Every structure is written in structure tokens, then in C-alpha cells.
């Protein structure tokens, strides 16, 4: 089932639950079908790569996905996490806003 995401690629987020709680990073990939996001430098896992052609086999470290409910948008200017709401602007464009201050995200 496709999940409605309030977070987008290149948003800065903070992990709010789980093993990596408190880490801040940028969203690399959004997986709306699974309700998950891949955050830069968070949930690192090791993958064993098989040798291909002239390239030797190796162990590669990369980010695993984490559930979208375990991250929150991070405001670097206020140094706090942000709850996201939506507001239709005067020109008719729908924009993401900070629910606390009303500022556009």
C-alpha cells in the first residue's frame, strides 16, 4: 500500500526512535510503497558483493531503509524537529508549513 509522505528527498531529518535515535541526516531515497526512507549515514549494513569480471569480491557498507514513522523533519535554524502541515497559499499553491510557527518548510 502506498503511504502519503510528508517528507521528500534532500530533506534533513532526525531519527526519533530505534537504535539510531538522535542522528541527523539527509534523505537519500523515499520508498512510498513500503512507507520507508533511506537516510544518509543511518542504519548502515554490510553487503557481500560477488566478484564480477576483473573486479574482486568485496564487502560494501550502505544505508538500509528505516520506517518513515521513526524520522521527523529537522529545522537547522531552530535546532528542533518540526511537525509538518499543509497550507494553500494565496496564489493557489499547496505548501508544507511548520505547524508550530506557520513558516514554510
Please determine, looking at this structure, whether the domain spanning 12-98 carries the CATH number 2.40.37.10: no
Query: What's the rounded Cα separation, in Å, for the pair 20 and 7?
Result: 18
Specify the pTM: 0.84
Local structure of residue 55 (DSSP, 8 states): B
Local structure of residue 69 (DSSP, 8 states): G
What are the residue boundaries of the structural domains of the chain, listed by start?
A: 12-98
C-alpha grid cell, residue 30 = 523515499
Strand partners, 100: none
Q: What is the pLDDT of residues 46-79, one digit of tens each?
A: 999 999 999 999 999 999 999 999 999 999 888 9
Question: Which sign does the torsion angle of CA 104, 69, 63, 43 carry?
Answer: positive
Q: What is the pLDDT of residues 40-53, one digit of tens each?
A: 999 999 999 999 99
Residue 3 has phi, psi (to 5 degrees) of: -95, 140
Q: Is the pLDDT reported for residue 1 higher than 90?
A: no
Amino acid at each position: 500500500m502506498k503511504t502519503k509522505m510528508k517528507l521528500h528527498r534532500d530533506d534533513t531529518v532526525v531519527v526519533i526512535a530505534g537504535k539510531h535515535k538522535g542522528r541527523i541526516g539527509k534523505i537519500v531515497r523515499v520508498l512510498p510503497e513500503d512507507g520507508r526512507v533511506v537516510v544518509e549515514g543511518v542504519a548502515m549494513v554490510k553487503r557481500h558483493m560477488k566478484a564480477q569480471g576483473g573486479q574482486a569480491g568485496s564487502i560494501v557498507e550502505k544505508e538500509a531503509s528505516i520506517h518513515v514513522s521513526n524520522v521527523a523533519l529537522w529545522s537547522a535554524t531552530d535546532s528542533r524537529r518540526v511537525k509538518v502541515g499543509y497550507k494553500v497559499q494565496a496564489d493557489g499553491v499547496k505548501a508544507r508549513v511548520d505547524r508550530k510557527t506557520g513558516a514554510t518548510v
